[in-house]
Amino acid sequence: MGFRIVGICAAFAVFVTITLAQNDTDAVVTEATPIISTCREEFKNQTPTHTMCLEDSEKVLNFGVSEEDKRVIVEYHNKIRREVEPPAIDLSALVWDDNLAEVAQKLAMQCRMYHDKNRKIPGYGKSFGQNLAAGQPTWTRAMGAWFREAQFFKYGENPKEYLGPGGWKKIGHYTHMITNRLYRVGCGFANCRDVRYNRFYVCNYVRGQTNFRRPYNNGTDRCSSCPDSCNNGLCDCGGKFCMNGGTLNINTCTCKCQRHYKEEDCSRLECPEKDRRSCGTSWPESYCKRYSNVPYDCPYMCGSCPVTSAAGSEVSS
């Protein structure tokens, strides 16, 4: 008989399902070998405690996600998104993302269940959602544990009212899978020895969920918000998302970029001559992490643009 525990890390609405399973049957990809040089400069410059700078557990036996499992993961998510009730008008088809998967794999290699706080990927500019599972024999079973929460979900209603205090914890894995403005998924797996839950599954998403009542907008016709990109019930922009806080138009598959960001996917920062006048005065540096718009309005103060003798705050707004 399985033993199931559900927990939550509220910062980015990330979840964990732990299920003790007897079987250990699905194939893994790689025998455990030391992984080195994952703490690359782009991660180290963010924080020395970035997930990619952690040491792998010595308890790892084997690890990795096969090409077949990648296909299963993407198709499983998209099937659920395509068939939600009530029908969704703005859910996008997910695609696999190797960058998300790399960070997810590193967390799985820790051989313990917890949500990493420092998993940001340079340039993505998004909060990353995360679903975790442990003890399940296969990816299908792990994702199935998340999906089973659908039986408790009531669209448009406050989970606190129909499930009691903390009720959102009983539906959070599922609502994450059906959140709009979600475009990519990347996952990692590790099989470990001498730990209670020996099989660890991690899926990272662009982006995190924010609405447990209405994770998507509903209507009569599926993907009616994106008639030009609709493909089999989902808005399909081929996994495109707008980097650095840009906003994707799911119908035209075009980006509206944040201030100072250029290119079709908002990937290039064009540093201004100076920051805005309010940067460093009425907007202290602490605002860089507190308010989402400040890093884009104050790229020098917040560290996106290199500070030189010529850079500073504007004299006038």
pLDDT in tens, 169-219: 999 999 999 999 899 999 999 999 999 889 999 999 988 888 999 999 999
68 and 50 fall within a common domain: yes
Taking only the tens place, the pLDDT of each residue in 100-149 is 999 999 999 999 998 988 888 887 876 789 999 999 999 999 999 999 99
Residue 16 pLDDT exceeds 90? no
Structure tokens at 11: 């910062």
259 and 208 fall within a common domain: no
DSSP string, 157-209: S-HHHHH-TTGGGGTHHHHHHT-SS--EEEEEEEEESSSSS-EEEEEEEES--
101 and 119 fall within a common domain: yes
193 and 256 fall within a common domain: no
105 and 21 fall within a common domain: yes
Cα–Cα distance for residue pair 161/270, rounded to 1 Å:
47
Cα–Cα distance for residue pair 113/108, rounded to 1 Å:
8
Report which DSSP code applies to 281: T
H/E segment holding residue 6: strand 4-9
**pLDDT for the residue numbered 209:** 87
Domain hosting residue 83, numbered range: 4-235
145 and 278 fall within a common domain: no
106 and 227 fall within a common domain: yes
Q: Quote the number of domains for the chain.
A: 3
Cα–Cα distance for residue pair 147/141, rounded to 1 Å:
10
Tokens 């679903």 found at: 131
Q: Measured at the alpha carbon of residue 251, what is the angle toward residues 248 and 257, in degrees to the nearest 5?
A: 20
47 and 108 fall within a common domain: yes
104 and 193 fall within a common domain: yes
49 and 87 fall within a common domain: yes
The answer, as to whether pTM is greater than 0.85, is no
**pLDDT for the residue numbered 208:** 83
Q: Measured at the alpha carbon of residue 315, what is the angle toward residues 309 and 317, in degrees to the nearest 5?
A: 125
58 and 186 fall within a common domain: yes
Q: What share of the chain is helix, strand, coil (3-state, %, to 5)?
A: 20, 20, 55
Structure tokens at 238: 């081929």
Structure tokens at 118: 């420092």
Coil, strand or helix at 17: strand
192 and 299 fall within a common domain: no
| End residue of a domain, out of 174, 209, 235 | 235
Residue 35 pLDDT exceeds 60? no
Taking only the tens place, the pLDDT of each residue in 241-293 is 999 889 999 999 999 999 899 999 999 999 999 999 999 999 999 999 889 88
